[in-house]
Amino acid sequence: MSNRIITISREFGSGGRTIGRMAAEKLGIPCYDQEIIEKIAEETGMLKSYVESNVEDVQGGWLSILAGRDYYGHSLQDDLHTAQTKVIRELADKSACVIIGRCADSILSDYDNLLKVFIHASMEKRVEWVLKQYGETEQDPIQRLKEKDKKRKAYYQLYSDHKWGAMENYHVALDSGVLGVERCAEIIVQLF
């Protein structure tokens, strides 16, 4: 029997990372997010800063994805995803945990004890969350949200057989703007 694993996919600004960390803390299990970046850097020998800026970053749509590939269709992004897949599977095999983003729901889809969660919220609530968490920037917050979600969607759809954010791919979808982050975390804990 495999470990109980929770994967948290989320729209940018929905509080998914915070919700995942809260649920993990309440359950007394590890939560992995940025820690995965560190492990990928160790695995590949690449600088952490390079991994962090490139591991889930698909820019410019499908043409730039194709432009970054060699004659055989392979890219450095593929190497990073392969390392990420290995790290995520090792963490899931090691103990029960919460994994934030990084296609974990797709990577671990063959695991028996997997709870796949998608966190979303209205644009208005997400703007509030981003401004509260990260403060004002020169970039319009709505544009920032849309760009970040566009990159997440492109990356997910490049390395997954599923459509990012499609509710049928998840066991539960929670609206953090309506329920609040604390209640979302409590629901996840109850479902675990």
pLDDT tens for each residue of the chain, 192 residues long:
579 999 999 999 999 999 999 999 999 999 999 899 998 888 888 888 878 877 666 554 544 455 566 565 566 778 888 899 999 999 999 999 999 999 999 999 999 999 999 999 999 999 999 888 887 777 788 998 999 899 888 888 888 888 888 989 999 999 999 999 999 999 999 998
The boundaries of the domain holding residue 38 are 5-191
What is the pLDDT, as a whole number, of residue 86? 95
Is residue 91 a contact partner of residue 32, using CB atoms and an 8 Å limit? yes
The CATH number linked to 163 is: 3.40.50.300
DSSP annotation of 133: H
45 sits in the region (left: phi over 0; alpha: psi -120 to 50; else beta) called left
| Structural domains in the chain (count) | 1
What is the pLDDT, as a whole number, of residue 71? 61
Cα within 13 Å of Cα(178), Cβ side: 7
pTM: 0.87
DSSP annotation of 55: T
Cα separations in angstroms, 150 against 11, 142, 172: 10, 12, 22
How far, in Å, CA of 120 to CA of 169, rounded?
A: 14
